[in-house]
Each structure stands twice: as C-alpha cells, then as structure tokens.
Structure 1
C-alpha cells in the first residue's frame, strides 16, 4: 500500500458551518416531583371540579377567616385562592408532615392533628367559613370538632361549613347539596356527597 494513503493532505482540515439565527432561548426543563400519598393518611384527594363547587357553596369571597381542617394536598385551598379568597385569612391544618410542608406556599399551616388542635382552641377562635374533606373513618369526630369552631366572628352573615362526607353521614342541620358519582375517589370505595351546615348565631 502506498504511503501517500497515510499522509495528511497539504490543506487545513476544516468544515465550514453556516450560522443560523432566530432560535429563541430554550426554557429550562422543570421536573415536578410527584406527590405520593400514603393510603394510611386517609388523604382522599378532592377532584378539581368538586373542589371548585364546594368553594362556590361556601359563599362569595370576603374578609372571612376560613379554616381547612384536613388540608391534605391543598386541593380545597387552591380552589379557595382561585376564586378570590385571601390566603392571609386562611388557616390550614394537616398532621402529615410531608403534606404540610407543601402547603406553606398557599398560606399558614398548622402541622397538628386537627382533633387535638381544635380541642385546644375551641372557645378562643371562630371561623365564619369552614371547608373540609375529612378522614371518612372519623367523620363524626371531625365534623363535631369543626362545628365547635364555626361562628360568625363578628360578621352579619351566617357562618357556613361545607364538607365532603360519605352518603351514610347524617346531621340534623346538614343540607345535602349534591351526591357525587361512585368513581369520585379511586382509593376509597365510598359513595360520597357534599353537605352544608349554616350557623345563624
């Protein structure tokens, strides 16, 4: 074989590249960490459309202190803020530490068991608006504790509690607003409904 095959040509080894303009700067890719909810937390995530309707049943926005006793992943909180309710008058309570850590972006969070916290503050604070999707296994305890905190708080309008509960839950003052489809909660084979309790005094 000829040595010339291995010889470098007597010219520069360059390739011309045409410049191209007009490409915008790419936005950085943001990977959102999925929220994995342990089934033992009994956190049944409220669907977006259901959360929006619950907020509408609560009443128009105003300077009302609003309580979300089992805030979970923040579905009801997000619906409240989207409808114009103020984050500065919102109290979220969530006992699960990981869930609570994500709720700070929406407003104040109390990382406690709601039943214990409610027993401590009962008689010292009133919430004219309460919206909740409590643990189904202790539904009566959670509704009772929430009602002890429900009050007009100096407002002329009645205090209102809106809750998502099993269809078997019955309260003498509860108004059933709607029954939800059977498949509303994939992780809980419980038929549910939305109720409202109004406290005039």
Structure 2
C-alpha cells in the first residue's frame, strides 16, 4: 500500500466516523424545555425573567441593564440544559412563589408592579434567601431566588453587553502589571 492509499483509507474511516456520529447524534434532540417539572419556558416566562434580571441589575447612566443582555433567554438555556431536575423544579416553582409574594404584598402579580415595587419585593425576597442560606444544611435545596440572582449575575457579566459596557474591556490585553493603579470607584476589568 502506498502513502496516498493509506491517507485515503484513513480519511474514509475518519470521515465515516464523523458522518456516522452525526447521524447518531441527530436522533438525540436537544431539550429546550424543563423536563422535570413538565413546565415550559413560554415567552411570558422569559419576559418575567428579563424583568427579574432588570430589577437586580437595572439600566443606569453608566451601563445597560440585564434585560439588554437577554438575561431571560440565558436563564432558560442554563436551567433547561444544565440544571439537575431538582434544581429545575426549584427554579420553576420559584417563579410562582415570586408571583405569590407579589400578590401577598401588593395585591398584583410581579409583571404589574412598578419598578420601585419590584425592587422592594426583591430586596425582601433576597433577605429571605440570605436568612435561609444562613440556616441551610448541606443537603437542603437552594433557595429559588439565590438561583435567579446567581444566573442574572453570571449571564450579565459574561454577555457581550455586560463585559464590554459594564466592565472595562480590553480586547487585546497588554502586559501583566500587578501594581496597576486602581482608583476607588473604577469599574472592574472584563475577562476575555
């Protein structure tokens, strides 16, 4: 066998492997909804999560808010594709609990609240989550608002909007300077 025949056969074997694996994987449809709870992320649910994220990280003069980074879509993807079933259930149940807390405090659902009312409600729920965390045992589940807040921060600061407009962005970093002057109030640097 000469070199050309060997390369052709290796290419055929590897090509067949790639094509074969693609055909196999195409039968495995990506889940886009939460299977554990039977609940789905409707456009209304994504809008709800956008509002929660915007309340946690609102638009300011210095930077855009979480809604501009499409935080609801980010949460949908992470919860659907990465969370374990128990955490998916906590998260989806948390949406209902947040609406219940809103109805209890203001007699209207979360989406109908003013920006100030949303802020006041989330401050109260955040305090509840922190109190829960302080007394939480290792085997206890996460608090739903802790999950929402973590996803908001993660999604926003790793998005293009968050890393280029809220953080200082340097696409081609310079040399390392461990003693770089930092003034109180300066924005943090984005990791690229």
TM-score band, normalised by the shorter chain?
A: under 0.3
Higher relative CO (Cα under 8 Å, sequence separation at least 6) belongs to 2
- The structure whose Rg is larger is 1
Which structure features the higher share of helix residues?
2
Which structure features the higher share of strand residues?
1
